[in-house]
Structure 1
Amino acid sequence: MVTVAILWLSTGYFGGIGAPFAPYFWPYLAQLPKKKERKRPVRVYMDGCFDLMHYGHANALRQAKLLGDQLVVGVVSDEEIVANKGPPVLSMEERYNTKIIHLLVK
């Protein structure tokens, strides 16, 4: 089972940190309509275990947010982590309620 948390992330939060947007995305960004030209909001989905949140997670979230208007983030369940990676350091509830995730919520 996957629990989904909707996080409204502002690009301003990530603006001062992180690597420049990955170069392999640049050709695709030119093809996307500008936010003002879109008829409806574009939602981007990203999931992960976010076990011990770190710089790489924040950078991936920042880049995902640049692709749309709203970022929907899924937090993977303990069962899925055990099946694919081994035992998690934090429980699903702890990962979901971690302070850094809530700092990202707009």
Structure 2
Amino acid sequence: MNLIPSFPALLGLSTSYFGGIGSFHKRKSGRKRRIRFYMDGCFDLVHYGHANALRQAKALGDELVVGVVNDEVIVEHKGPPVLNMEERI
């Protein structure tokens, strides 16, 4: 699994520049491999920036897997979250 193409989405860059990345991932049989991207975040009070990053990440592959950071990690790095993990999910 190659995660390098997901970095533009995580950085909030436009997908138009990176749109051709998926064409480089072909199997030896000539069939195109499905590309899966992973993106995580705390998503505490989801806003337009979150939605835009998710949209761009999805546009770069065939499947988007989204992880939600747990409360303990958020408290350690940012302070207490507004919503608990169940509400963020």
- Per the normalisation by structure 2, the TM-score is 0.71
Provide structure 1 residue ranges, at least 5 long, that are not aligned to the other structure: 1-20, 97-106
Structure-2 separation of matches of 1:38 and 1:64? 22
> For residue 104 of structure 1, what is the aligned residue in structure 2?
none
Provide structure 2 residue ranges, at least 5 long, that are not aligned to the other structure: 1-11, 25-29
Is 1:94 aligned to 2:87, yes or no? yes
Shift in alpha-carbon separation, 1:64–1:23, aligned structure 2, 3 A: closer
RMSD over aligned Cα atoms: 2.6
How much identity, in percent, do the aligned residues show? Answer: 64
Is 1:22 aligned to 2:29, yes or no? no
Q: Aligned pairs, how many?
A: 74
Q: Which has the higher contact order (CA 8 A, sep 6+)?
A: 1
**Deviation of 1:23 (Å):** 4.4
Give 4+ residue runs of structure 1 displaced > 2 Å after superposition: 21-25, 28-32, 37-40
Preserved contact between residue 43 and residue 68 of structure 2 (Cα < 8 Å): yes
Q: Look up the equivalent residue of 2:20 and give its one-letter code.
A: A
